[in-house]
Amino acid sequence: MSTTSPAANRWTDKLPATVNTTVHRLAIASLASQIGIIVTGGAVRLTKSGLGCSQWPNCVPGSMTPVAEMGIHGLIEFGNRLLTFILAAIAVAMIVSIWRLRTTHRTIYRLSIALLAVIPAQAVIGGITVWSNLNPWVVSLHFLVSAALVMAATLLVNRTGALRRGESSLGTPAGSTQRFLAWTIFATSALALVLGTIVTGTGPHAGDADAPRHMFDPYIVTRIHVVPVYLLVAATVVALVLAFRRASDAKLRNPLLLMVGVVLLQGVIGYVQHFTGLPILLVLAHMLGASLLAAAAANAWDRTTGKFPF
């Protein structure tokens, strides 16, 4: 005998029974919000507001909110903390929207759960960032976890989009050459993101005047950072040429064109910011580009290899 009340049944009956436009839009909102929190987090650091709230979970001793003495930096840092609740609200809405589908579409359900579950972990990492006086290794971890969430949200968008169109997969995996290139694109993108955090941790934008910095040679770490970028460019170009030469790879053309656009954008911004003294607006644009790179690489890998469950 069911213990579910009639009221509960009426409530769940209002939820989508299929992956519809609303579900897909919530998946897109998840992706956009994960990218957005990276950009706003970058703005906190670039405006030297990283310790605008000197405590965690309180902003300042005895107060959850900033006080007048913290000035604009306190408002900026506290505002970024509040955005976490928007991420959580979107993640909860996503889970609710697919609640009736949790047994029939387990992958999108598990991805949605993961996007919500990591938010508290990210909050804790943010707290450790404050407690460690913006230690660059912890700041890097904070960013890389967010980049991983961008990738997870991209997988979610791909699956809800296909299901909304009535498709039961992303199509047949590509041939061995394209799969190898997709893995190369994914791996070199990930490595470029990791090494990019070391370059950032060596640079001048620490988030606070007293925050520690890596003691590496900026010239050397920058040169190391671009090595996987060159490999990424080569793999992407070869994959794109093959996609246009082979009719069987036609479905890969748009993902790879997106990849080319993001890589070109990042390359231009990266070189210009390097030779112009790292102006904060260009650095912020580079962080947006890094988020888009994570999404584009995950998208190309997902649609080429078919390795992640549908």
Residues 259 and 119: their CA atoms lie apart, in Å, by 27
- pLDDT at residue 120 tops 70: yes
pLDDT tens for 281-304 read 999 999 999 999 999 999 999 999
Distance of CA 144 to the CA centre of its chain: 8
Specify the pLDDT at position 3.
52
Number of Cβ within a 10 Å radius of residue 3: 5
Whether the pLDDT of residue 126 is over 60: the answer is yes
Q: What is the dihedral of CA 266, 271, 274, 280, to 10 degrees?
A: -40
Name the one residue in this structure whose structure tokens are 């190369």: 184
Rg (C-alpha) for the chain, rounded Å, is 21
Which of the two residues, 13 and 235, has the higher pLDDT score? 235
Q: Chain-centre distance of CA 307, in angstroms?
A: 20
Q: Among candidates 143, 134, 127, which has minimal Cα distance to 212?
A: 134
What does the alpha-carbon distance between residue 290 and residue 263 come to, in Å, rounded to a whole number? 9
Q: What is the DSSP letter of 63?
A: B
CB 125 within 8 A of CB 81: no
Q: What is the pLDDT of residue 6?
A: 59
Return the C-alpha torsion angle 290, 295, 296, 298, nearest 10. 120
Mean pLDDT of the chain: 94
- The conformation of residue 62, written as its DSSP 8-state character, comes to T
In degrees and rounded to multiples of 5, residue 60 shows phi and psi of -135, 160
**pLDDT tens digits for 220-239?**
999 999 999 999 999 999 99
The first and second tokens of residue 124, run together, are 């804790």
Burial (CB < 10 A; 0-12, 13-18, 19+), residue 83, is: middle
**What does the alpha-carbon distance between residue 279 and residue 244 come to, in Å, rounded to a whole number?**
38
Stretch 47-63: mean pLDDT, rounded?
Answer: 92
Of 39, 54, 67, 197, the C-alpha closest to 132 is 54
Q: Does residue 10 have a pLDDT over 80?
A: no
The CA distance from 154 to 92, in Å, is 17
| CA distance linking residue 58 with residue 306, whole number of Å | 44
Given a cut of 50, whether residue 1 has pLDDT beyond it is: no
Burial class (CB within 10 angstroms; exposed 0-12, middle 13-18, buried 19+) of 82: exposed
Average pLDDT over residues 240-254: 96
Whether residue 76 contacts residue 280, with contact meaning beta carbons closer than 8 Å, is answered with no
Nearest CA among 271, 307, 266 for reference residue 290: 266
* CA 205 – CA 60 distance, rounded (Å): 23
DSSP for 231-288? Answer: HHHHHHHHHHHHHHH-GGGGGGHHHHHHHHHHHHHHHHHHHHHHHTT--HHHHHHHHH
Q: Please provide the size of the chain in residues.
A: 310
Higher pLDDT, 97 or 68: 97
The 10s digit of each residue's pLDDT in 266-275 is 999 999 999 9
Residue type, 70: M
